[in-house]
């Protein structure tokens, strides 16, 4: 039967040589290479569950009286979007499962992308000839964050409504064009009905298609250039070693795909997420304490909270409003750094060569140190977003925390830079594994009877 199918395809497309090559395509094996695959499978789950959700969701802010099965809100005037989200959760069989799975998948999607990025950064996988693949990946991260934000903002619940209000303030704060830009995007002063339909078409069509296009490029270029690998006996700059797609790698990847989808469905079924009925519908005059966005916006809310209170004024007129610093400039710097890094590194290291072998983080101490400083900086600002929870849980006054963070964001990256550089240098000299390395020293007795400490582990080259 297999023979028949192959013959059928080959006679009509001439693709047997291509299929043969695809089956033998080699995948190097390392646990950290699976992060990107998890992101890919999350995207598949997102598309599948997302299509199902569009069949029930009503993207409209026209007001209606809620008559559904959720007792506390019955009789309340809410938007059609909010009402349909409630019906989707309580009336539609399996609707809540799919909705929660979709939401969980979005959160895990961005986690996987960020971890994948960290892996690629610290092993130097982004170097030529794969820098283009890296740029496409960072682009997808930007789109994924925006896509997630628009997605949960569609429901018109109080929590997400506050998020849109903040986005509007950030849009208004852009220098020179702010007011016009916000009017353009919202179609008038916030809040508007127009924004809902715009966010909807962006969320269900424009952004997913863009992500799909970048993803196609990302994977096609990867297939053309092949996967990177760590150095091994057979794995060199010239040859890639690993499991062939068939029979070795395909079942491994399928296992990961089903595991990803399975865990997302278990989360969607068993762990509540974004219970919009508990938040109530959005009104501009309402807000709630302890409100946090989805995790991947934590760094932005942290930045908005961290900036000291000042607008830039000239002659009694505001020039640059405060949300610009945390909401626009900060993400610009973060993504600017990520996009600029490969060429910056080439410029300063004068390393213009092709690289198929990965560095261990210690092999490039300055890259690892700069990366550690960068991720420490962004990570700290992410933590600022949870300062109010820390106050509730641990009782450390909020204002103290903010002042501590205002100092730490300048000090900690510098400390991280030099500490990590030092650790890398030490590890390189001693050739130890940072976590399971030998802690003792190897002492060798020479034929003459003297003792010397061996700096390198005997089992390494």
Binding residues for other proteins restricted to 153-182, rule: CB under 8 A: 162, 165-166, 168-170, 172-182
Q: Which of residues 36-75 bind other proteins (CB under 8 A)?
A: none
- Nearest distance in Å: CB 149, other proteins: 14
Q: Which is nearer to other proteins, 161 or 365 (CB)?
A: 161
C-alpha–C-alpha distance, residues 151 and 143, integer Å: 12
- Nearest distance in Å: CB 400, other proteins: 11
Q: Is 390 in the site for other proteins (CB under 8 A)?
A: no
C-alpha–C-alpha distance, residues 38 and 35, integer Å: 5
Q: Is 263 in the site for other proteins (CB under 8 A)?
A: yes
- Strand, helix or coil for residue 26: strand
Q: How far is CA 283 from the centre of its chain?
A: 30
Please identify, among the stretches 253-261, 340-348, 426-434, 450-458, the one whose residues bind other proteins according to the rule CB under 8 A.
253-261
C-alpha–C-alpha distance, residues 124 and 127, integer Å: 6
Burial of 214 from C-beta contacts in 10 A (0-12 / 13-18 / 19+) = buried
Q: How many CB atoms lie within 10 A of CB 329?
A: 18
Residue 164, Ramachandran bin (φ over 0: left; ψ between -120 and 50: alpha; else beta): alpha
- Nearest distance in Å: CB 340, other proteins: 24
Binding mask 189-228 for other proteins (x = CB under 8 A): xxx--x---x-------------------------xxx--
Q: List 27's β-bridge partners, or say none.
A: 243
Among 8, 348, 398, 418, binds other proteins (CB under 8 A): 398
- Nearest distance in Å: CB 35, other proteins: 17
Among 51, 205, 266, 444, binds other proteins (CB under 8 A): 266
Q: Which is nearer to other proteins, 311 or 426 (CB)?
A: 311
Q: Which is nearer to other proteins, 11 or 237 (CB)?
A: 237
Q: Which is nearer to other proteins, 388 or 431 (CB)?
A: 388
Q: Which of residues 338-357 bind other proteins (CB under 8 A)?
A: 354, 356
Helix orientation angle between 207-225 and 34-54, rounded to the nearest 10 degrees: 150
Q: Is 275 in the site for other proteins (CB under 8 A)?
A: no
The pair of three-digit structure tokens given for residue 63, joined into one six-digit string: 């007001």
DSSP string across 444-455: EE-TTS-EEEES
Burial of 337 from C-beta contacts in 10 A (0-12 / 13-18 / 19+) = middle
Q: Measuring CA to CA, how many Å separate 157 from each of 103, 278, 298?
A: 15, 9, 19
- Nearest distance in Å: CB 23, other proteins: 9
Q: How far is CA 149 from the centre of its chain?
A: 12
Nearest of 418, 344, 367 to residue 118 by alpha carbon:
367
Q: Which is nearer to other proteins, 136 or 304 (CB)?
A: 304
Binding mask 421-450 for other proteins (x = CB under 8 A): ------------------------------
Among 8, 65, 283, 414, binds other proteins (CB under 8 A): 283
Among 14, 17, 317, 461, binds other proteins (CB under 8 A): 317
């Amino acid at each position: 039967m297999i023979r028949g199918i192959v013959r059928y395809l080959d006679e009509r497309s001439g693709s047997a040589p291509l299929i043969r090559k695809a089956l033998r395509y080699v995948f190097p094996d390392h646990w950290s290479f699976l992060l990107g695959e998890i992101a890919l499978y999350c995207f598949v789950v997102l598309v599948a569950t997302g299509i199902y959700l569009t069949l029930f969701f009503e993207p409209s802010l026209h007001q209606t009286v809620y008559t559904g099965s959720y007792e506390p809100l019955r009789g309340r005037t809410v938007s059609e979007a909010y009402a349909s989200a409630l019906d989707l959760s309580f009336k539609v069989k399996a609707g809540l499962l799919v909705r929660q799975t979709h939401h969980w998948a979005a959160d895990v999607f961005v986690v996987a992308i960020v971890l994948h990025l960290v892996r690629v950064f610290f092993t130097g996988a982004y170097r030529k000839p794969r820098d283009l693949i890296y740029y496409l990946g960072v682009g997808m991260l930007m789109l994924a964050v925006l896509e997630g934000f628009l997605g949960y903002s569609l429901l018109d619940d109080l929590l997400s409504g506050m998020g849109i209000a903040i986005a509007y303030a950030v849009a208004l704060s852009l220098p020179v064009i702010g007011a016009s830009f916000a009017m353009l995007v919202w179609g008038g002063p916030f809040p508007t009905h127009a924004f809902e339909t715009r966010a909807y078409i962006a969320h269900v069509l424009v952004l997913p298609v863009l992500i799909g296009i970048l993803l196609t490029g990302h994977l096609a270029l990867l297939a053309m250039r092949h996967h990177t690998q760590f150095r091994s006996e057979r794995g060199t700059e010239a040859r890639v070693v690993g499991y062939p797609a068939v029979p070795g790698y395909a079942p491994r990847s399928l296992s990961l795909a089903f595991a990803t989808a399975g865990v997302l469905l278990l989360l969607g079924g068993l762990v509540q997420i974004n219970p919009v009925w508990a938040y109530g519908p959005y009104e501009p005059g309402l807000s709630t304490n302890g409100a946090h966005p989805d995790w991947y916006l934590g760094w932005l809310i942290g930045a908005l909270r961290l900036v000291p209170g000042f607008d830039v004024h000239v002659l009694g007129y505001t020039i640059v409003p405060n949300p610009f610093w945390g909401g626009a400039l900060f993400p610009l710097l973060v993504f600017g750094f990520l996009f600029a890094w490969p060429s910056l590194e080439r410029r300063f290291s004068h390393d213009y060569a092709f690289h198929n072998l990965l560095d261990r983080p210690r092999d490039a101490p300055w890259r690892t140190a700069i990366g550690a400083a960068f991720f420490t900086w962004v990570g700290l600002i992410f933590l600022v977003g949870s300062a109010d929870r820390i106050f509730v849980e641990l009782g450390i006054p909020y204002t103290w925390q903010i002042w501590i963070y205002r100092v730490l964001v300048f000090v900690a990256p510098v400390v991280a830079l030099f500490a990590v550089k030092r650790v890398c240098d030490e590890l390189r000299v001693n050739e130890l594994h940072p976590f399971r390395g030998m802690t003792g020293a190897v002492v060798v007795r020479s034929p003459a009877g003297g003792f010397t400490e061996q700096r390198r582990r005997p089992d390494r080259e």
